């Protein structure tokens, strides 16, 4: 239905007196709302199933899982730091990690 058809129907409904509305209008509205919710849920389910199928067909599933675990660990660290549960200073932690990364690459720390 085009935009102009929507506007025409809205105009017709505004012009029609309220007493001429059919008594089944609330039931029809509820039915349409329920159908819309069901359609939305099925669409989301379809998208999720497609995504799961794509993920399961990947050859790098192990690496994807490992990356996910690393990401969750980092998010956990950030969440505990944000909540004030971290014992170390953030800058000290980042400096230590940078030094470890440089040492692992074989470059001397300055």
Query: Per-domain residue ranges for the chain?
Result: 25-57, 61-110
CA max distance for the chain: 86
In contact, 109 and 102? CB cutoff 8 Å:
yes
In contact, 22 and 13? CB cutoff 8 Å:
no
Cα distances from 69 to residues 22, 28, 85, in angstroms, run 57, 48, 21
Of 105 and 13, the one with more pLDDT? 105
15-72 per-position pLDDT tens digit: 665 555 555 678 888 888 889 999 999 999 999 988 888 877 777 878 888 898 889 9
Provide the whole-model pTM: 0.35
Closest C-alpha to 71, from 79, 82, 83, 81: 79
Return the number of other C-beta atoms located less than 10 Å from residue 86's C-beta.
14
* Spatial separation of the C-alpha atoms in residues 5 and 9, rounded to whole Å: 6
């Amino acid at each position: 239905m085009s935009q102009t058809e929507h506007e025409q129907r809205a105009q017709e409904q505004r012009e029609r007196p309220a007493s001429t509305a059919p008594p089944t209008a609330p039931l029809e509205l509820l039915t349409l709302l329920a159908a819309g919710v069901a359609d939305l849920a099925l669409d989301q389910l379809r998208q999720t199933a497609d995504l799961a199928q794509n993920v399961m067909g990947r050859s790098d599933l192990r690496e994807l899982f490992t990356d996910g675990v690393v990401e969750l660990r980092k998010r956990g660290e950030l969440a505990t730091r944000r909540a004030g549960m971290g014992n170390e200073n953030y800058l000290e932690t980042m400096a230590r990690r940078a030094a470890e990364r440089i040492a692992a690459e074989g470059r001397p720390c300055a």
